[in-house]
A and B are shown apart, each in its own frame.
Chain A
């Protein structure tokens, strides 16, 4: 066989073998690097792909690795696993269920963010650590202060009222605002003054549109996508419902959950066709009409791109996008920020809207939870402690221009407009009683916002699916709540057993915990029982009707 013939015959096999060998060597190399006997690796996963986040986190990681080596003489490696938003929930869920999840997980997106049973199963309670001072605060004004009290809200928002413990530690906090192109705004409107009322906002949008049309320029008032649409929706829908929230909040929690709203619906205390909902959706439609054509098919990045290219005067996003937007427009134009103007003095809407939703009850963002399966719990806690000292939290947030969460950590001047607004109303009104309700309302909501469906048609659709699947969804949630209560009872039983056998109590908090558990079981059990009784009564009443 000639060399040429040999080459022709075996070139494919050679390439295949070379690829396999390369892949094997690469895997072996990585394994050897990460699993070296003298290196301890902890993995940390998140969905923050914004500019600067990974670098800022890596800086903290590098510092921590060096400090750990210096202090203990042991090598440690903290490995970042950034995952895109879309696949994050699946990635985390699959890892948790399969037992391969990273040690530290950014909590959220996955259903576990709200489901106590899920949280209890997969994440470690951090209460015992948070009650102790953070050792890295030694020599600072926060020395001796319990770790949780070093956060802006004393970690109140991170406390799980059903599980009676804290399950995450935040790094930053976020607010949502409208970004605008100052230069273009000034050029079109001849002023720097941002809209103070909802009507003014609509007028500004109208003038921008007219300017674009008269000059033949492809300029739109607001760069939008589903992402921005959702931000506007949340901002404008909830204020219409505050009065309804106060009327239907039977358990006085300040918010109306899906079960509470369902019972109120069955009792005839609200309906999708009410003028309140119609006005809310009409208002949202008025806003979304100022987005570019075909915004529904655009991605978040497409909208930002449109804004950066000066083809849109405004866009909406959270403070998390501030650094990346400013970086992209550097040298092109100046970016301004203002809050969403509320229709409080609007002739049609003001009877429903008394004011905006407050940001006083804002939760800390980038919530890091420690995976229960992790074999390096103490190390994970130590890493989080290191990152949440005042100095580190300040430097981390300053480098990515986000809002810090540790007391005394300074804001960069650029972030002043994002400072949480204290004034406003508290509350939330949930209607997602079942999966079909969630899917159908979500699917059709976009049609309302893109003017493909009237608010009246949307109300009919929502009503149909709500009435058809609501009862089943309610019963499912009832079963789930019952299960959660049983979990609490199990925890109580174990605590009582430990007390009975005289097991050591290192924190001296067992009695307090037993008291809290008893109270929670009583409260929660009562709530479940009342809801069940109300539901059964309503079912009987429906059956009795001809």
Chain B
């Protein structure tokens, strides 16, 4: 049976299909797109959510980013390079990449001209070198023979160097913008790195369940993993808050009863010198600035995510038994089975979870808000961009500014998702 392409031209023949689609399209537009576009629109306004709605152009963005002239070429160059990576047409790709290269070169020039007037602490030589090398890599990637090792290195450099340079640049330029916001990204990067490690227990659990020989046991475990989903996330958060309580919490009791408290006190006294583990052993996990980040990282131990396990399981179940049989004939070990068969074949799911994790970490605020309060706890150690956005909107009623923070977060997440899509390889 041949497939028929449905377009607006043959609308009359297919109007029923369009009619069936209409409620979904309207629903998505009303509840997803319109609020999103409204948020983007309001990011250009001084809006207090009530009656002040004054167009301020790029003022909000300028308050966040600092001197926009320093950013514009870099952002446009990055965007063009990103777009070229997404497009399929080689000619357009080449044009966009060259345009991107020109803009990056302009960024270098702009920085060079501004070198004397940049704020103190700016890492000019490093950033300049990085950007100059990027331009060189881009030029070489056009000049060198396709497929050659040198060209591959140049292509890799053209992506990696702007990324590293961008981070260095961010560190420097944030001083001209909203430094509280930029400081809050530090926690995000720590949490993302931690979450990269925290993904593994879910993968291992899924593999263990998958390898269970009895279908009944597999089913039982799947059900057991679904049951916690019924508990509202807020309840889970409050349980963890109680878990960390210095006086009545389970964690301190567990450490004391296991005798680990003695080791921690010794470690603190002779090695760490933090002064947080003292006798009597009552560390305030969420009240002590030195312990907040570790508490946030430890949260959710043993880090077996319900949704994650189910997603990995669905991927594992698609692996045919013939693959295992062939591997067993070749004498594969249990580890080899995981490393060479299962992990490569669930990379689609890993990538999906990675994207969701990055998006979730960047957007997170509820978790920090419940555990630490609106200002992110003592010394603002638990402050994330999401929480800062929430604070600006709901505590300070700077809704327009909060929308602008959301917009910036959107672009950062978009860039990270593109990088993820492009560089996390999936073997079919």
Interfacial residues, chain A to chain B (CB-CB below 8 A): 89-90, 93, 96-97, 111, 115, 117-118, 121-122, 226, 292-298, 302, 306, 435-436, 438-440, 442-444, 446-447, 450, 452-453, 465, 468-469, 472, 483
Contact = CB atoms under 8 A, between A and B. Distances in A.
B367 interface: no
A450 B287 contact: yes
B379 A122 contact: no
A440 B289 CA distance: 13
A442 B284 contact: no
A440 B52 CA distance: 27
Given A297-B284, A297-B287, A298-B247, A442 B50 contact: no
B159 interface: no
Given A111-B397, A293-B280, A297-B285, A443 B246 contact: no
B45 to A, nearest CB: 14
A121 B49 contact: no
A297 B246 contact: yes
A292 B380 contact: no
A483 B47 CA distance: 13
Consensus secondary structure, chain A interface: helix
Query: Max chain B CB contacts within 10 Å: which of A111, A292, A294, A435?
Result: A294
Contact of B378 (A115, A296, A306): A296
A117 B376 CA distance: 29
Given A440-B180, A446-B378, A452-B289, A292 B247 contact: yes
Nearest to A479: B46
Ranked nearest first, the 9 interchain pairs of A and B with the lowest CB-CB distance are A294-B246, A296-B287, A297-B287, A443-B380, A294-B284, A293-B282, A297-B284, A446-B378, A436-B180
A436 B178 contact: yes
Given A97-B49, A298-B245, A450-B287, 9 more contacts: A90-B394, A111-B396, A117-B50, A294-B284, A297-B244, A297-B246, A302-B247, A435-B396, A438-B396
A294 B283 contact: yes
B55 to A, nearest CB: 14
A447 B51 contact: no
Nearest to A118: B50
B395 A111 contact: yes
Nearest to A465: B180
B71 interface: no
Contact of A468 (B52, B179, B378, B394): B179
B282 A89 contact: no
Contacts of B395: 89, 111
Interface residues of B, number: 40
Given A294-B283, A439-B391, A468-B179, A447 B289 contact: yes
B195 interface: no
Contacts of B67: none
Contacts of B397: 93, 111, 115, 118
B378 A450 contact: yes
B245 A297 contact: yes
B63 interface: yes
A297 B285 CA distance: 8
B17 to A, nearest CB: 28
Interface of B: 48-52, 63, 178-180, 244-247, 280, 282-290, 373, 375-381, 383, 388, 391-392, 394-398
Contact of B377 (A97, A293, A443): A443
Contact of B379 (A294, A298, A302, A444): A444
Contacts of B290: 452
A294 B247 contact: yes
Contacts of B375: 439, 442-443
Contacts of B378: 296, 443-444, 446-447, 450, 452
Max chain A C-beta neighbours (<10 A), residue from B246, B378, B383, B398: B378
Contacts of B48: 118
Contact of A440 (B284, B380, B394): B380
Contacts of A302: 245, 247
Query: Of residues B49, B63, B388, which shows the largest number of chain A Cβ atoms within 10 Å of its Cβ?
Result: B49
B51 A297 contact: no
A250 to B, nearest CB: 26
B290 to A, nearest CB: 7
Given A89-B395, A302-B247, A297 B50 contact: no
Nearest to B387: A439
Given A297-B285, A297-B286, A439-B375, A472 B63 contact: yes
26 contacts: A90-B394, A97-B49, A97-B50, A117-B52, A118-B50, A292-B247, A293-B246, A293-B247, A294-B284, A296-B284, A296-B378, A297-B285, A297-B287, A298-B246, A298-B247, A302-B245, A439-B180, A439-B375, A439-B388, A443-B379, A443-B383, A444-B378, A444-B379, A452-B289, A468-B179, A472-B63
Interface centre among B247, B285, B383 (most CB of A within 10 A): B247
Contacts of B288: 296, 450, 452
A293 B285 CA distance: 12
Nearest to B280: A293
Contacts of A93: 49, 394, 397
Nearest to B373: A226
A97 B394 CA distance: 12
Contacts of B380: 439-440, 443-444
B384 to A, nearest CB: 13
B403 to A, nearest CB: 14
A463 B137 CA distance: 44
Contacts of A447: 289, 378-379
B287 A121 contact: no
A405 B221 CA distance: 62
A122 B50 CA distance: 9
Contacts of B289: 447, 452-453
